[in-house]
A and B are shown apart, each in its own frame.
Chain A
Amino acid sequence: MSVATKQLRLSPKRRLKNSGRRNPLVGLIAWITALLFVSPVLWMMITSFHSEADAATNPPSFFAPLTLDAYAQFFGAASGANPWPPLINSAMASVFSTILVLLLAMPAAYALSIKPIKKWTDVLFFLLSTKMLPIVAAALPLYIFANFSGMLDNIWFLIIMYTSMNLPIAVWMMRSFLAEVPVEMLEAAQLDGAGLIRTLSQVVAPVATPGIAATGLICFIFSWNELLLARVLTGVVSGTAPVFLTGFVSSQGLFLAQLCAASVVVSLPVLIAGFAAQDKLVQGLSLGAVK
């Protein structure tokens, strides 16, 4: 597909040795950068364990006494609202839409990369162009449709919309991953008389696993984060965690510690998934070149 791939074809797939010795200066710069980038996250976590009075001071009270108050508030003490249903809704919306995306994107990416149909760049371009539609402008038609079809406040409608939101990106990413599957393997499968589903599940999927995992994780994150459609299309039953978060943070009253606690809880699933899968992500994003 590109220069890089062709070069790789020639060379045995081998990881480039990192430039030998450890360099203390590089380490120092990297550590300073990392701390700079993570400091807002750390500050969010520290503040979430402070009382409201200690949260908003100047200079900041780094070592103020720790308390779980803000978390207790989030888990119901503040308003009696239970954050679990929104968290579960978010999990459902993200997981199911991601599964749907992968199921639809795999064959599509296969058609576009392994045995490219004619004008595949046009199809790819069309798919990406759908991402140019501003979601803000689509929200009203979607609301009208949901209202008339009885799909308002239905998590499955949100799942369908999230699938549609992530599908173009997924097809686009997976196309590059699948292009790395050796043609010989596919021909061998064809000789064995394997159909599309068997080829995909038994030949393509195992080879492209890191790529599929990376795509899945990114779709999961984007679905989990979505706020605008969730706010317009959900109601009392299917509200998602970001909607709950913005509703929980009252604009009248002292709220900094509660805001931080709520942000930590709502971000936690993504943080955990991201940290756990970061190696897969790097591997997958390297377009299948590293195994």
Chain B
Amino acid sequence: MSYVSTAMKPKPTLGGPGTDQRKKSRAAAWARRAPLLPALIFVIITTQLPFAVTLVISFFNWNSLRPNDRGFAGLSNYIQVFADPGLRHAVWVTILLTASVVLISLVTGLLIALLLNQKFFGRGLVRTLLIAPFLVVPVAAALIWKHAILNPVYGLINGILTGIWELFGSQNPPQMDLLTDQPLAAIIASLVWQWTPFMMLILLAGLQSRPADAIEAAQMDGANAWHVFRYITLPHLRQYLELGGLLGAIYIVQNFDAVFTLTSGGLGTSNLPYAVYKTFYIANEYGVASAAGVVTVAGSLIVATFALRTVFSIFKKEAAR
């Protein structure tokens, strides 16, 4: 919030006589800011106020099932949060989950986008088919993955394995149980499946807006396809990769549906949102859960500050126009 206050603070004025010029520039500055204010105020009210309440609750001892034992707890909720090995593990799971889903779906999305940027039979239809996973409601997708795809008994994957093996007369097809053996990989797979199309769309848009003459010039200079990709396409795609990566990271850090539905947080797959959910709604420890929420926010902000400002070109530059 400190950013806002510096950004929004009106210039100091002394209010003395002869400040006509200054008044004018002040008015102009406000005219520039005015269009921003409705959105900014809206966001501040709807996000910072609930956060303030969370902050307050985090200092209280409050289990909703014991309404009579409520009281000020000082820092004890925070001590409990930091002492909980489950939460520490959840931090690690969250990082692993977010990083692998974003990276894998960016790379896969890029490869598919490069394919779709070529001409071939039925390209439009292929693109339509490819974006379908992004358009399935996430909780439905998670349910379908758990029950219809990955279920070890009647899921599609094992079903197809059985079918193929039976075709060759074998009665002992290999059967996978991804949800038990590699539960985190199962969650990652289902999320990559949903997010790859989104990354693909963004990167396809990037590919299609490449400057034509730069490429043609390079080709005339005898650059091969790899060089064109490495020195023209990739730098051009940078902001698109950033857009995809950032949007993906924001939503996957918060992912709850997939973890909740696929593994109920079991087998070491509990991420931070699920851990906070569990503390809120299974343990009913409102105080501890709020403290965990506050710590999560603080952690994300620290990570985001460093990550966004060092990695993302958009935050490195001040206004260019």
Chain B residues with Cβ under 8 A from A167's Cβ?
Answer: 39, 42-43
Tell me the A251-291 residues at the B interface (CB within 8 Å).
Answer: 255-256, 259-260, 262-263, 266-267, 270-271, 273-275, 278, 281-287, 289-290
User: Least Cβ distance of A214 to chain B in Å?
Assistant: 9
A122 to B214 Cα, complex, angstroms: 34
A18 to B273 Cα, complex, angstroms: 44
Closest A residue to B198 by beta carbon equals A218
Q: Which of A41, A134, A227 contacts B297 (CB 8 A)?
A: A134
A228 at the binding interface (Cβ < 8 Å): yes
Chain A residues with Cβ under 8 A from B51's Cβ?
Answer: 133, 138, 141
Q: Which of B29, B137, B166 contacts A245 (CB 8 A)?
A: B137
Q: How many A-B residue pairs have CB under 8 A?
A: 371
Binding stretch for chain A, among B19-27, B71-79, B253-261:
B253-261
User: Least Cβ distance of B120 to chain A in Å?
Assistant: 3
B267 at the binding interface (Cβ < 8 Å): no
Verify B140–A266 contact, CB threshold 8 A.
Answer: yes
A260 to B154 Cα, complex, angstroms: 14
B183 at the binding interface (Cβ < 8 Å): no
Tell me the A28-50 residues at the B interface (CB within 8 Å).
Answer: 29-31, 33-35, 37-41, 43-44, 47
Verify B53–A144 contact, CB threshold 8 A.
Answer: yes
Binding stretch for chain B, among A4-12, A64-72, A73-81:
A4-12
Verify B211–A11 contact, CB threshold 8 A.
Answer: yes
Closest B residue to A18 by beta carbon equals B119
A193 at the binding interface (Cβ < 8 Å): no
A117 to B129 Cα, complex, angstroms: 42
Verify A44–B257 contact, CB threshold 8 A.
Answer: no
Query: Assuming the A-B contacts A33-B115, A256-B147, A287-B209, are A267 and B296 also in contact, with contact meaning beta carbons closer than 8 angstroms in the complex?
Result: no
Verify A14–B212 contact, CB threshold 8 A.
Answer: yes
Number of interface residues of B (CB under 8 A): 123
Verify B118–A122 contact, CB threshold 8 A.
Answer: no
A57 to B235 Cα, complex, angstroms: 49
A61 to B5 Cα, complex, angstroms: 62
Chain A residues with Cβ under 8 A from B290's Cβ?
Answer: 137, 140
Query: Assuming the A-B contacts A133-B47, A134-B296, are A29 and B115 also in contact, with contact meaning beta carbons closer than 8 angstroms in the complex?
Result: yes
Closest B residue to A245 by beta carbon equals B140
Query: Assuming the A-B contacts A58-B154, A107-B35, are A134 and B315 also in contact, with contact meaning beta carbons closer than 8 angstroms in the complex?
Result: no
Chain B residues with Cβ under 8 A from A114's Cβ?
Answer: 321
Verify A56–B154 contact, CB threshold 8 A.
Answer: yes
User: Least Cβ distance of A73 to chain B in Å?
Assistant: 16
Chain B residues with Cβ under 8 A from A286's Cβ?
Answer: 205-206, 208-209
Secondary structure call for the A interface:
helix
Can you list, as one digit per residue, whether each of A125-150 has a CB less than 8 Å from chain B (1) or not (0)?
A: 11111111111111111101100000
Q: Which of B38, B133, B137 contacts A104 (CB 8 A)?
A: B38
Number of interface residues of A (CB under 8 A): 126
Chain B residues with Cβ under 8 A from A225's Cβ?
Answer: 137-139
Tell me the B221-279 residues at the A interface (CB within 8 Å).
Answer: 235-236, 239-240, 243, 246-247, 250-251, 253-254, 256-257, 272-273, 276-277
Chain B residues with Cβ under 8 A from A239's Cβ?
Answer: none
User: Least Cβ distance of A185 to chain B in Å?
Assistant: 14
Verify B35–A111 contact, CB threshold 8 A.
Answer: yes
Chain A residues with Cβ under 8 A from B166's Cβ?
Answer: 59
Can you list, as one digit per residue, whether each of A83-110 has a CB less than 8 Å from chain B (1) or not (0)?
A: 0000000000000000000001101101
A275 to B29 Cα, complex, angstroms: 43
Verify A22–B196 contact, CB threshold 8 A.
Answer: no
A19 to B320 Cα, complex, angstroms: 34
In the assembled complex, 26 residue pairs joining A and B whose CB atoms fall closer than 8 Å, in A order, are A2-B239, A4-B209, A11-B214, A27-B123, A30-B118, A30-B120, A33-B112, A37-B130, A38-B133, A40-B156, A58-B153, A110-B35, A125-B3, A128-B250, A128-B308, A132-B304, A133-B51, A134-B273, A138-B293, A164-B43, A168-B43, A176-B239, A176-B243, A245-B137, A266-B140, A285-B205
Given A132-B304, A141-B57, A290-B205, output 19 extra A-B contacts at Cβ < 8 Å: A26-B118, A40-B193, A107-B39, A111-B36, A120-B7, A122-B7, A136-B273, A136-B277, A137-B289, A141-B54, A161-B46, A168-B43, A242-B139, A256-B147, A262-B140, A267-B140, A285-B202, A285-B206, A285-B240
Q: Chain B: residues with CB nearer than 8 A to chain A? A: 1, 3-4, 6-7, 29, 32-36, 38-40, 42-43, 46-51, 53-54, 57, 112, 115-123, 126-141, 143-145, 147-149, 151, 153-154, 156, 158-160, 162-163, 166, 193, 196-197, 201-202, 204-206, 208-215, 235-236, 239-240, 243, 246-247, 250-251, 253-254, 256-257, 272-273, 276-277, 280, 286, 289-290, 292-294, 296-297, 300-301, 304-305, 308-309, 313-315, 317-321
